[in-house]
Each structure stands twice: as C-alpha cells, then as structure tokens.
Chain A
Amino acid sequence: DAGVIQSPRHEVTEMGQEVTLRCKPISGHNSLFWYRQTMMRGLELLIYFNNNVPIDDSGMPEDRFSAKMPNASFSTLKIQPSEPRDSAVYFCASSLEGRGLTDTQYFGPGTRLTVL
C-alpha cells in the first residue's frame, strides 16, 4: 500500500516567489494534516481537514499561507510570497477518522523548503 505521498521532496526558491506543496493522503483516510518542523518549535500543526473541509487553521502563521483540499485524494499548501523564515520541513499526514487516541496519523516523507 502506498503511504502518504508528498511532492516535491525538496524545493529551493527565492524570497518573494510562490511555493506550492502537494500531498496525496492514504486512500480511504478522511482526515489530512499539514505540519511544519523547525528546530526551535518542533512539529507544529498548521491546518487540518476532515472530509475535505478545513476544521482548524489556527496554526497557519499568516495570510501568506493557504491550504486547499479540493478532493479526498489531494491537498496543497501554498506560500505566497515566500520568505526566508519559511524555510523548514513541511509534513503532510493522514488518518482514518481523525478521532484522537485510537486514530493513528501517518506521515509523508516531507518537503524540505529552502527560501533564499
């Protein structure tokens, strides 16, 4: 079975450019999560969807960040314009129902973003 798929694996861009990260969750999973990993803050939840609907976007740093989930098998995280402080590893995760302890989140391999 394919796990969570993320693309690209690495992205290097210049400040001010638009960046789009992509995620394909595990088939049949109803919840999708976007995380950002930095040394200082560890893994931070940016936003999560349940049945393609954004449920909690309180972790999105600012208006430059937006996320969409047009269907059950695809989500994007967009940063426009990008800034050097956005450099981090971005993970996408999915889970079956999104119901707490009994519902494991499965992570993709991450996208390492570098903004010069």
Chain B
Amino acid sequence: DQQVKQNSPSLSVQEGRISILNCDYTNSMFDYFLWYKKYPAEGPTFLISISSIKDKNEDGRFTVFLNKSAKHLSLHIVPSQPGDSAVYFCAAGSGTASKLTFGTGTRLQVTL
C-alpha cells in the first residue's frame, strides 16, 4: 500500500521549458510535503517543502503546488536546465513526527 505515489517513472523535457513532476498521496494525516533530488551515486538532497496550510511555495526556479482536496502535489521547474537531470522523490510527513514516507521517484532528463 503505497501511501505516496509518483506514477510517472520518467520525464523528458527540453532545456528552457517547464518540467512538471506529480505526486499523489492517500493518507489524509499527512500535513507536510517535501521534494528531494537525487543524482546517481549520491544520496538524496532536500529541494523544497510545503506545509498543508499553504497551497504554493516558491524557491527560485522551483515551485511546489499543493491541492489538499485532490491529495495531489506537483513540482514545477522553470526554466529547466541540464543540471536538473536527476531522480526526484516526493515525501510526506505528519505533525512533528520525524517519519517521512517517500514515493518511488521520477527520473527527469533535461535535453539540450
């Protein structure tokens, strides 16, 4: 029972265009969400997060949108750059608990 789902295993986007990565969750107790980025042979690194009291959080080229009623969040990267090519993991947590539930990841490839 995957509580956090990333249904697109891979995505290819042209440099300069927008990349949209999607994530769905089933547990209504989740109240904060994060995106992690992972390069090959490295551990995941934190990218951006959002609390359930917001519906949008922006950090430079990265914006995360949260739709609580649909239990859906998305990560927008604008403009996409070749260095953004990586695997992106969506994660969710609840309250002040440390435990994070991760999705299976989406591999983004930004082409020239």
Contacts and interface: CB of A to CB of B under 8 A. Distances in A.
Contacts of A56: 99
A33 interface: yes
Tell which of B2, B32, B97 has the most Cβ of chain A within 10 Å. B97
Contacts, number: 69
Interface string B1-13: 0101010000000
Interface residues of B, number: 29
State the majority secondary structure of interface residues on B. loop
Contact of B89 (A33, A40, A43): A43
A45 to B, nearest CB: 6
A69 to B, nearest CB: 14
A10 B36 CA distance: 23
Interface string A34-71: 01000111111100101000011000000000000000
Interface of A: 4, 31, 33, 35, 39-45, 48, 50, 55-56, 91, 93, 95, 98-101, 103-110
Interface of B: 2, 4, 6, 32, 34, 36, 41-46, 49, 51, 89, 91, 93-105
